[in-house]
Structure 1
Amino acid sequence: MKLDPRTWRFRRNDSSKPSKPSKLSKLSKRSKASNTDKAASAAPTISRSDLIRESLEGVGARPSRLLITLAGTVLGIASLVATIGFAQTAGGQIAQQFDALSATRVTVEPGKAKAAGGKERATARLPWDAVDRVAGLAGVEHAALYAKLDSVKNVTTVQVNDPSAASKAAPPVVAASPELLETVAGHIGAGRFFDAGHDERGDRVVVLGKNAAERLGVNRVTGQPAIFIEERAYTVIGILDKVGTRNTLLDSVIVPVNTARGELALSTVNSLDIRIAVGAGEVVARQAPIALDPNAPDAYKVSAPSSANALREGVEADVNVLFLAIGIVALIGGGIGIASVTLMSVTERRGEIGLRRALGARTRDIAGQFMIESVTTGVLGGLMGVVVGLFALIGVCLVQQWTPVLAPWAAPLGVAVGALVGLAAGSYPALKAARIEPVDALRDA
């Protein structure tokens, strides 16, 4: 018998006919299900602030290990920052000390083509009056003809016919016009350079480069010393001790062009050297071939100076390749170090990870904690690397007495690269930590 609450009467309990659930019971069940869902959704999780705080505590828990981990990243970022600074500083320094003589030199040579035998042959000849033809061009200050006399091998101080004597390599003989001294910004240490009169008359006079004079044993020009070229006597009238360009002249014996034409079978000149005003390189390089031969200006090859900007960019590119290679290697080492230490930390903290998972921490909470730790390590390495790189740059500039130059974006770039290295290095350890099962971790602990 059962008391019916609606009628307050007892009625027979018929087990064969199941009773229908009342509205009250339906509401009760629905309320329980709702409470269960709320309880499930209210499972304990870690907040962002707590996650960041505990990650930072984890980073600073072992200072000695942290310093070892940072070493690779610091070295890599320092190399990166120093690379940018050294390249920009070196480029600026070279631009400031740009060689004025090299910047004011234009060389015109006959064009060359390969002959049937594979050897190169000249496709044009420089006229003997080439100096006069280019002298009137705007920007031209001096010009001189220059030719190598490769066929001349016999150069001595005293003519000796001794077959048993040991042969010595003779200094090279070159021919030049009288304007060569001003064109190459040379300096005569003793005597004088030959002039237009010597050249027009075809006088047998020579000027020795200082190294050639030492080899020939000529140390002064008083008394008119003589040397023998192909068994003909030539009077030494000067010793060249310094040049701005064409350093090979210091090793050479220099004779006037017309003397070489009459005495040494000179048939053509190798080049026309032109000294120009600063900034006139492009104009002279374009106009000189036309002045030499208006009908075939393309028959000549012109070498003009590079601009300071081009030189700076070239230096920066060369230095960047070297130092960036060093920086990349160091960054790879730093990333491997961060990954190794983070993996070690995951292994050591399996018990902690299992306990957090058992208390309701989600996999992304665990992964996020280790990711924050590795990124923080990378950022610290980036900051320290920027400081080390700046000190290295300043130290080198102080020693060399240079003005340090560094782009303003170099420091933020170093920190950003450090963070990226930490992010990449911590990805795998973070995923591994997130996949640890709570039961296994607690059992191992």
Structure 2
Amino acid sequence: MSLRVEQSLSQLLHEAFVSLRTLGKRSILALLGIVIGSSSVVALINIGHNAAEDAAAIFKDMGTDTLVAQFPPRGSSTAPMRASLDLAAIRKTVPGIAHIGAISQFSGPVVFHGRTFNTGIIGSTPDLKDAMRLSLREGRFLSPFDGGEIYAVIGDQVAQALSLPGDPLQLGDRVRISDYLFLIVGILQSQPRSMLIPVQANEAMFIPAEGMRRIYPTPQISNVVIRATPGQDMERIARDAATALKTQLTDHDVDIQVPQQMIDGMTRQSRTFAYLLLALGAISLVGGGVGVMNVMLMNVSERRREIGIRMALGARQRDIRNLFLLEAVTLTAVGALCGAVLGMSAAYLYAWLSGWQFSLAIAALPLGVGSTLLVGLFFGIYPAVSASRLQPVEALRDE
């Protein structure tokens, strides 16, 4: 019994391919519509997935355990921000803080052996290195005992800009800022860029916060960077840290950014973007399905005598229906497979041109191929049912 079923299915598939081949250009055009629709779904799902992955990667190197505090003026206050804060008191007050560092910023030229580079000069507290996850290529970072010293740690890009072949900037060299010569005690490794941290470490020069008055008469803290111990509730730490900071400030508010909230917002935007792209792909797929139905209706119209002969020889209505339905699904299946390959290639090319790391969306192929087969089945039902309802006498009467 199973052998007869397998032979019947094999024969039906053979007849389906022969019938579609005889349709010629019409079959190819319908197939092309299905390929475009299927590839659109696969490609657009992957593009949306890779866009979301690229957006989330911005925060991966920094981690979700980092908070950055800003200090906007309170109301209409024009009072300058303080030059220092009691960070140790905040660390004691708020449990769960691993590292906390303050930043004050100034920009200006740094001179080494007659070579000049405009850089951001960062007044740094000692714990800023761990709060920002800075890593050193050479030397050390600023310590709590360097407050009165003219020491500096420079970023990788600054070191490269001030170096020449045969005359590189090295540990122990001195660079001039304004009227002061700062001794280089550390050189940072190249750091990944972060949208949240207000300092691009590669292009910065870090000096003790107490020494900022040497180059800028009224330094002001612009940000405080907080890094929490693992497993903490970041929103709770943000609230407690804001409360603790406000006790030291009279003319400024405290605004703390929580990376996880930003990531969640970006994830929601990316999901909406992915749904929009999926809807566009579905519209293309429906257009391909309409093309399949059109081809199958023409196929039924041209094969009325064949249908009449089959019925006269004993074919049942369901046999005729299954024959034409199989032809529609076969045409759609070929288009789905070709569209999947084309869609993956298009998504990879788009990611490569955008500079993204390509990764395959798990749902792309099942959704792309599955939805294409469902569309082919849906749009193939009407022509198949129409063919099965033909009366043998009426069908055989056609010339």
TM-score (norm 1): 0.60
State the Cα distance separating 1:187 from its structure 2 match.
2.0
Q: Give the aligned residue type for 2:324.
A: E
1:215 pairs with 2:161: yes
Partner residue of 2:19?
A: 62
Partner residue of 1:248?
A: 200
State the Cα distance separating 1:423 from its structure 2 match.
2.9
> Of 104, 112, 119, which aligns to 1:157?
112
Partner residue of 1:206?
A: 152
> Of 140, 143, 150, which aligns to 1:192?
140
Q: Give the aligned residue type for 2:90.
A: V
Partner residue of 1:143?
A: 100
Deviation sequence 1:369-405 (CA, Å, 0-9, x none): 6798358624773598489859998xx9xxxx99988
Q: Give the aligned residue type for 2:222.
A: N
Counterpart CA distance in 1 for 2:78 and 2:202 is: 27
Counterpart CA distance in 1 for 2:384 and 2:121 is: 73
CA contact (8 A) 2:177 2:215 kept: no
CA contact (8 A) 1:173 1:253 kept: yes
Q: In terms of mean alpha carbon deviation, does 80-89 or 174-183 score higher?
A: 80-89
Indicate the RMSD between aligned Cα atoms, in angstroms: 5.4
State the Cα distance separating 1:170 from its structure 2 match.
1.4
Query: What is the SS of the residue equivalent to 2:221?
Result: coil
Counterpart CA distance in 2 for 1:404 and 1:344 is: 39
CA contact (8 A) 1:84 1:410 kept: no
Partner residue of 1:163?
A: none
Identity %: 18
Q: Give the aligned residue type for 2:246.
A: D
CA contact (8 A) 1:105 1:305 kept: yes
State the Cα distance separating 1:188 from its structure 2 match.
2.0
CA contact (8 A) 1:155 1:227 kept: yes
Partner residue of 1:293?
A: 246
Q: How does 1:280-429 map to 2 (within 5 A)?
A: 280=232, 281-294=234-247, 299-306=253-260, 310=264, 313-314=267-268, 317=271, 320-321=274-275, 324=278, 327-328=281-282, 330-349=284-303, 373=324, 377-378=328-329, 381=332, 385=336, 406=362, 411=366, 415=370, 418-424=373-379, 427=382
CA contact (8 A) 1:70 1:378 kept: no
Q: From the superposition, tell whether residues 80 and 376 of structure 1 become closer, same or farther in structure 2 (CA, over 3 Å).
A: farther
1:233 pairs with 2:181: yes
Counterpart CA distance in 1 for 2:34 and 2:295 is: 13
State the Cα distance separating 1:277 from its structure 2 match.
1.9
Deviation sequence 1:27-53 (CA, Å, 0-9, x none): xxxxxxxxxxxxxxxxxxxxxxxxxxx
Query: What is the SS of the residue equivalent to 2:226?
Result: strand
Counterpart CA distance in 1 for 2:290 and 2:175 is: 70
> Of 166, 170, 182, which aligns to 2:118?
170
Counterpart CA distance in 1 for 2:212 and 2:279 is: 53
1:109 pairs with 2:70: yes
1:264 pairs with 2:216: yes
Counterpart CA distance in 2 for 1:383 and 1:158 is: 69
> Of 126, 134, 139, which aligns to 2:90?
134
State the Cα distance separating 1:105 from its structure 2 match.
0.8
Deviation sequence 1:45-103 (CA, Å, 0-9, x none): xxxxxxxxx99897454243687445543664576478778978998999999836422
CA contact (8 A) 1:134 1:292 kept: yes
CA contact (8 A) 1:147 1:269 kept: yes
State the Cα distance separating 1:323 from its structure 2 match.
5.8
Counterpart CA distance in 2 for 1:307 and 1:340 is: 50
Q: Give the aligned residue type for 1:140.
A: I
Q: From the superposition, tell whether residues 391 and 428 of structure 1 become closer, same or farther in structure 2 (CA, over 3 Å).
A: closer
CA contact (8 A) 1:157 1:226 kept: yes
Q: From the superposition, tell whether residues 284 and 323 of structure 1 become closer, same or farther in structure 2 (CA, over 3 Å).
A: same
Structure 1: 5+ residue stretches without partners: 1-53, 116-120, 161-167, 360-364
Q: From the superposition, tell whether residues 122 and 349 of structure 1 become closer, same or farther in structure 2 (CA, over 3 Å).
A: farther
State the Cα distance separating 1:295 from its structure 2 match.
9.0
Rg: which structure is higher?
Answer: 1
Q: How many pairs are equivalent?
A: 361
TM-score (norm 2): 0.66
Query: What is the SS of the residue equivalent to 2:118?
Result: coil
Q: Give the aligned residue type for 1:209.
A: G
Deviation sequence 1:305-364 (CA, Å, 0-9, x none): 21799489559727734762573255135214303422432453366689999x9xxxxx
Counterpart CA distance in 2 for 1:106 and 1:412 is: 39
State the Cα distance separating 1:418 from its structure 2 match.
2.9
Counterpart CA distance in 1 for 2:121 and 2:57 is: 36
CA contact (8 A) 1:98 1:308 kept: no
Q: From the superposition, tell whether residues 427 and 169 of structure 1 become closer, same or farther in structure 2 (CA, over 3 Å).
A: farther
Q: Which has the higher contact order (CA 8 A, sep 6+)?
A: 2
Counterpart CA distance in 2 for 1:107 and 1:236 is: 27
Counterpart CA distance in 1 for 2:248 and 2:88 is: 18
Query: What is the SS of the residue equivalent to 1:135?
Result: helix
